[in-house]
Structure 1
Amino acid sequence: MSRIGKKPIQIPGKVKVDIKGAELTATGPLGSLNYTLPSGLKAVIDNGILNISIEEKGKEKLLNAIHGTTRANVFNVIEGVDKGFSKVLEINGLGYKAIVAGTKLTIEVGLSHPVIFDIPKGLTAAYDGKTNTLEIKGSDKFLVGDFAAKIRRVRPPEPYKGSGIKYQGEHIARKAGKTAAGGK
């Protein structure tokens, strides 16, 4: 069995988890999320602790491969409706900025046109002009990470000056620029 898959999940007091067949629904302060368990895996709640186990005998080797991943996904659903997830992007460059207006996010990063994104339902974006950081928050970890990756793809950081959009704390391998030619 998977070591991660065997770990029990403690359900916080503010979160309610319902299991109907293979459909798991978690409801908490930040909303509600659903997750469908793969066939052959079973979730059981006992005294506020959720365990995921392999149900079908004879297919342990096949199901063992997804046991830990399923447990991690269920944990992220429960954690998301309780505390939520966030990604912080740093926007570095002369004149680079972002503007959040309602459900639209406009990014100006030295292109001939501003890039406009629709903020997905369930996510919020906040731009701090003093620190040039854009924070994406939401309860669905996949959706937060996917939206942050789409924004970063507009202008990835370049290795010479480091200008572009990067994750907070991300290390960019820097290159030395051209040096003056030696005397002849």
Structure 2
Amino acid sequence: MARIGDNPIPFGDEVTVSVDDHNVVTIEGPKGTLTEQIDPEMTLDIADDHVVVRRPTNQKRHRSLHGLSRSLIVNMVEGVTEGYKKELKIIGVGYRAQMSDETLEIALGYSHPIYFLPPSDVAVSVDSDRGQDDIIIVEGIDKELVGQVAAKIRSLRPPEPYKGKGVRYVDEHVPLKAGKTAAR
């Protein structure tokens, strides 16, 4: 059985980790600062170059929170040092994306363009080469927020199963179904 929570969380010299009395973890790094409320039953031991999360008992709830707390802190450390990036591909005739100021303007086959204003903590850009599908790049230091923004953009026109048109992640595979004529 894996014990993810038992593993220490290493961090480099450029990262500072602090915990207050209410188990609010603050991690500062070269890309920014993240804070997260960790369950008060978990204890955090901070050493020179690593953090260890400890649980009070072996109850199921504590075991679950143990691994979760460690994973949240690891994601925060990775976010402030390297950052997170999701890429979405727009596939379809007439489907386009472009940035106008801070707003993402997307044409997805509806009667109107869709204007998407990303949160201030997330950077959205469009890579469009002539003759190629547009790629929307979502970047930020908060893994959860980057994933939410990417999922929200994808939900505007999810890939359909017959032609594969729509918005999908770059590494996503959409299995295509056979149409009505294939059944004959």
For normalisation by structure 2, the TM-score amounts to 0.91
What do the CA deviations read for 1:2-41 (whole angstroms, capped 9, x no partner)?
A: 7000011101221111111211100111110001110210
How far apart in 2 are the matches of 1:181 and 1:168? Answer: 30
Q: Counterpart of 1:102?
A: 101
How far apart in 1 are the matches of 2:183 and 2:171? Answer: 35
Superposed counterparts of 1:76-155, under 5 Å: 76-130=75-129, 131=132, 132-155=134-157
Change (3 A) 1:82 1:179: same
- Secondary structure, counterpart of 2:174 in structure 1: coil
How far apart in 2 are the matches of 1:101 and 1:43? Answer: 44
- Secondary structure, counterpart of 1:110 in structure 2: coil
What do the CA deviations read for 1:99-125 (whole angstroms, capped 9, x no partner)?
A: 112321111110011111111011111
| 8 Å Cα contact 1:5/1:71 also seen in 2 | yes
Q: Counterpart of 2:39?
A: 38
How far apart in 2 are the matches of 1:37 and 1:118? Answer: 30
Runs of 4+ aligned structure 1 residues displaced above 4 Å come to none
Would you say how many aligned residue pairs link Structure 1 and Structure 2? Answer: 180
How far apart in 2 are the matches of 1:102 and 1:84? Answer: 23
- Identical-residue share of aligned pairs (%): 38
Q: Counterpart of 1:171?
A: 173
How far apart in 2 are the matches of 1:181 and 1:65? Answer: 48
How far apart in 2 are the matches of 1:84 and 1:62? Answer: 30
User: Which segments of 5 or more consecutive residues in structure 2 lack a partner in the other structure?
Assistant: none
1:179 deviation in Å?
A: 2.5
Give the root-mean-square deviation of aligned CA atoms. 1.9
| 8 Å Cα contact 1:2/1:68 also seen in 2 | no
Change (3 A) 1:95 1:40: same
- Secondary structure, counterpart of 1:161 in structure 2: coil
1:129 deviation in Å?
A: 1.0
For normalisation by structure 1, the TM-score amounts to 0.91
| 8 Å Cα contact 1:2/1:64 also seen in 2 | no
What do the CA deviations read for 1:29-76 (whole angstroms, capped 9, x no partner)?
A: 11100011102101111121110001x35x743211211011101111
| 8 Å Cα contact 1:15/1:82 also seen in 2 | yes
Residue 7 of structure 2 corresponds to residue 7 of structure 1:
yes
Superposed counterparts of 1:58-77, under 5 Å: 60-77=59-76
How far apart in 1 are the matches of 2:101 and 2:142? Answer: 20
How far apart in 1 are the matches of 2:125 and 2:78? Answer: 21
| 8 Å Cα contact 1:88/1:134 also seen in 2 | yes
Q: Counterpart of 1:47?
A: 48
Opposite residue 111 of structure 1, the aligned amino acid is Y
